[in-house]
A and B are shown apart, each in its own frame.
Chain A
Amino acid sequence: MRSFSIVDVWSIVLAVRWTVALAIMALVGGSIGGLIIALARSAQSRWLHGPARGFIIVFQGTPLLMQLFLIFFGFPVLGLEVNPWLAAGVALILNTSAFLGDIWRGCIQAVPGGQTEASHALNLSNYDRMRYVVLPQALKIAVPPTVGFMVQIIKGTSLTAIIGFTELTRTGQIINNATFAPLPIFALVAFLYFCLCWPLSKWSRRLERRLSASLR
């Protein structure tokens, strides 16, 4: 056993970049997936919105930890080699897609129906209606909850520690196993998460206030 030193503090602080990298990966991948889910969910065709709804219900109705385990243990079943990056990335992206898909579906539906009717009256194609009329207005409503959801993504990345991905939480665990100073280590780890999440929470709340003021 060695004692907790400044070197350990530094390695914990540096581990923040893996947490941030995971979160960005989940956000970018999840945004693409979420947009597809949101569009499918608000489509007319039953063959589109049915599966999208099912996807959302399944991912919102099961624990993220179980989703991680299923993907982690499921890859070898498919004959693929497990790589923590891949397993963590796929699980987080699928999970984020479901949640963002649901949030954005709400935003698309919040655009007044008259806008869609006007687009029909102007003989816009479905693509043009979405691209030029509905989505730009939905985007405005979508920003505050999406920023708020980024906090959930960052907190969610901590679970990848359990399948062995060495990010912030796992680094804290490893150093705790070597130095056995849980109080300063986990306080520092918690503080670092707080530094990542708190500004986003604040920002999201401010955006929300501004949006509700502009809608009034």
Chain B
Amino acid sequence: MVYHFQFGVVLQSWPLLLDGVLKTIELSMGAMVIGLLIAVFCSWGKSNGPRALHWAIDAYIEAIRNTPFLIQLFFFYFALPSLGLQMSATTAALVTMFVNLGAFATEILRAGVEAVPKGQVEAGLALNLKRYQVFLYIVLRPALKTIFPALSSQFILLMLTSSIVSTISADDLASVAANIQSETFRSFEIYIVVTAIYFLLSLSFMGLFKLAWKRFLYFPEGR
């Protein structure tokens, strides 16, 4: 049997694909921003909060890190409505993504803040820098430098994982692929194209992050 590839029908629907790309980026960025806020709160709570909060944050992190994203998605989309919390598919997707990211990013943030030696903060204060200057120039920048590579690969991972939200038909690139597939029946072609798009997306974000790192964060370090 010889298979005849027909990329034409797939490429004809490029406006749909472009729309899907934008939605995937939008979803990932939104989840990243909210997830980071959660992570900032959690890493603060873990070092400064009361013991009960500390314990709750640990439970949250362990629960998210040790269960599959797909099950978390099903939980938010199918199980929560029976508790009276109804969400649209896209909202459920966004919620699952930021809840998921929050847990992973908390660990990354903590590693960054812990990496700044106490002596440097004290040195800054001794040089009569203001508190905010110490935070901005001495704590934040080295901490960002430490966590940036891990955070950016976490973002790319989140974007790739977001393809799973197509299983509940949330708005994203993989859902667009599923729709085109059910209209044209060219499953293999459409998934080749969409996989290539995801690949290009992760390469471009990787490049972008590298550029940002070189431009804003890199500085030589003494030994």
C-alpha spacing A186/B164, complex, angstroms = 17
A61–B188 CB distance below 8 A: no
How does the 8 Å CB contact mask read for B193-206 relative to A, with 1 for contact and 0 for none?
01100110011001
Residues of B within 8 A of A176 (CB): 78
A interface with B by C-beta (< 8 Å): 58, 61-67, 69-70, 73-74, 76-79, 151, 154-156, 158-159, 161-162, 169, 172-173, 176, 181-183, 185-187, 189-190, 193-194, 197-198, 201
C-alpha spacing A95/B203, complex, angstroms = 18
A–B complex contacts, Cβ < 8 Å, 6 sampled = A61-B206, A77-B3, A173-B74, A186-B79, A194-B62, A198-B66
Shortest beta-carbon distance from B195 to chain A in Å: 4
Contact of A182 among B70, B79, B167, B191 (CB under 8 A): B79
Given contacts A154-B68, A159-B164, A197-B65, 7 further A-B contacts (CB under 8 A): A62-B195, A63-B160, A63-B164, A70-B188, A70-B195, A77-B3, A193-B71
Shortest beta-carbon distance from A209 to chain B in Å: 14
Chain B residue at minimal CB-CB distance from A58:
B199
A194–B188 CB distance below 8 A: no
Chain A residue at minimal CB-CB distance from B163:
A63
B63–A63 CB distance below 8 A: no
Known: A66-B194, A193-B71. A182 touches B66 (CB 8 A): no
Task: Classify the interface of chain B: helix, strand, loop or mixed.
Answer: helix
C-alpha spacing A154/B191, complex, angstroms = 24
B167–A162 CB distance below 8 A: yes
C-alpha spacing A190/B191, complex, angstroms = 29
C-alpha spacing A73/B188, complex, angstroms = 5
B163–A66 CB distance below 8 A: yes
Contact of A187 among B70, B75, B81, B164 (CB under 8 A): B75
Known: A58-B199, A66-B174. A169 touches B75 (CB 8 A): no
C-alpha spacing A83/B84, complex, angstroms = 40
Residues of A within 8 A of B209 (CB): none
Chain B residue at minimal CB-CB distance from A193:
B67
B202–A65 CB distance below 8 A: no
Known: A62-B198, A66-B198. A74 touches B188 (CB 8 A): yes
Known: A62-B199, A63-B161. A159 touches B70 (CB 8 A): yes
B192 at the interface (CB under 8 A from A): yes
Residues of A within 8 A of B161 (CB): 63
Top 5 closest A-B pairs, CB basis?
A158-B68, A197-B66, A182-B78, A63-B163, A73-B187
A70–B66 CB distance below 8 A: no
Shortest beta-carbon distance from B134 to chain A in Å: 29
Known: A69-B187, A69-B191, A186-B79. A61 touches B203 (CB 8 A): yes
Residues of B within 8 A of A182 (CB): 74, 78-79, 81-82
Shortest beta-carbon distance from A112 to chain B in Å: 18
How does the 8 Å CB contact mask read for B72-109 relative to A, with 1 for contact and 0 for none?
10110011011100000000000000000000000000
